[in-house]
Amino acid sequence: IELLAGEAEILASGARQPVSVVAGAGRLLAQSARFNVRHTDDAVCVTCLAGAVDVVWRQRRVTLDAGQQVVYDGRGVQAARMAAPGEASAWRTGALSFAGKPLAEVVAEINRYRPGRVLLRNPELGRRLVRMRFSIAQIDGALAMIRDLTGAQMTSLPGGVVLLS
């Protein structure tokens, strides 16, 4: 499988040959695992949900066990870390979930699902850590929630453009 962009959840269940997924600059190998792969821009985030998955980047191999996550891009592989439970696969249930994430990351994710564009005009606001969960079908409600939680100024413009400052 080659994931050019976007997100997929892969189930490898006891195959004779490992399931191989190419995403960005790396390759993922698993024989018995369930894992989420997210390829946005140049970065790939792999979250092992069950079993174990090998992440191969150039000559480096990192094995993820259930609950672990790693991010890599064309420059290198970050250290594996524990993933927030349910966060990586929440999109499959029609929700987005963030725990202790910078608001800039939340806005980037909103922009993947919402027509138009949300622009974060205040870098300090973008660094604020937030914890929130909302339905993908209610994205505009999430923007109102961000406004109310952070005290940000929200300006709606034609074409679905929203300015947060």
Whether 12 contacts 18, CB under 8 Å: yes
The C-alpha atoms of residue 146 and residue 132 are separated, in whole angstroms, by 9
Helices 139-150 + 103-113 axis angle, to 10: 160
Residues 88-146 pLDDT 10s: 888 888 999 888 889 999 999 999 999 999 999 999 999 999 999 999 999 999 999 99
Domains of the chain by start residue, with CATH: 2-82 (2.60.120.1440), 94-164 (3.55.50.30)
Q: Amino acid identity of 121?
A: R
With 90 as the cut, is the pLDDT of residue 49 above it? yes
At 82, is the pLDDT very low, low, confident or very high (cuts 50, 70, 90)? very high
Residues 17-26 pLDDT 10s: 899 999 999 9
User: Can you read off the two tokens belonging to residue 104?
Assistant: 């800039």
With 80 as the cut, is the pLDDT of residue 14 above it? no
In SS3 terms, the chain reads as CEECCEEEEEEEECCCCCEEEEECCEEEEECEEEEEEEEECCEEEEEEEEEEEEEEECCEEEEEECCEEEEEECCEECCCEECCCCCCCHHHHCEEEEEEEEHHHHHHHHHHHCCCEEEECCHHHHHCEEEEEEEHHHHHHHHHHHHHHHCCCEEEEHHHEEEEC
